[in-house]
Amino acid sequence: MQPKKAAAIRAAIGRVAADPRARNNNLKPLAGIPNGVRLRIGDWRVSFTLDYAAQVMDVFEIAPRGGAYR
């Protein structure tokens, strides 16, 4: 992964962690995963779970679009 893309992904994850309910976070729910959400950053996808009560975000996958969701 390019360092510039890695920095953009870290920044996007930080924005979501700071306010997961913000409108333009580019989030979509993941089917089959309780509280699962995906974040799109260009051609990359970040899959994670959100526990609003505990205020925990657990990132479990960062993958290019073609390799995500498998």
Q: What is the CATH number of the domain that holds 41?
A: 3.30.2310.20
pTM of the predicted model as reported, rounded to 2 decimal places: 0.83
The pLDDT value recorded for residue 11 is: 94
Total domains in the chain come to 1
CA torsion through residues 13, 25, 65, 59, sign:
positive
Q: Is the pLDDT of residue 58 over 70?
A: yes
Q: Is the pLDDT of residue 16 over 70?
A: yes
- Percent of the chain residues topping a pLDDT of 90: 59
What range does the domain containing 20 cover? Answer: 3-67
The pLDDT value recorded for residue 68 is: 61
Q: Can you name the residues that pair with 38 across neighbouring β-strands?
A: 28, 47
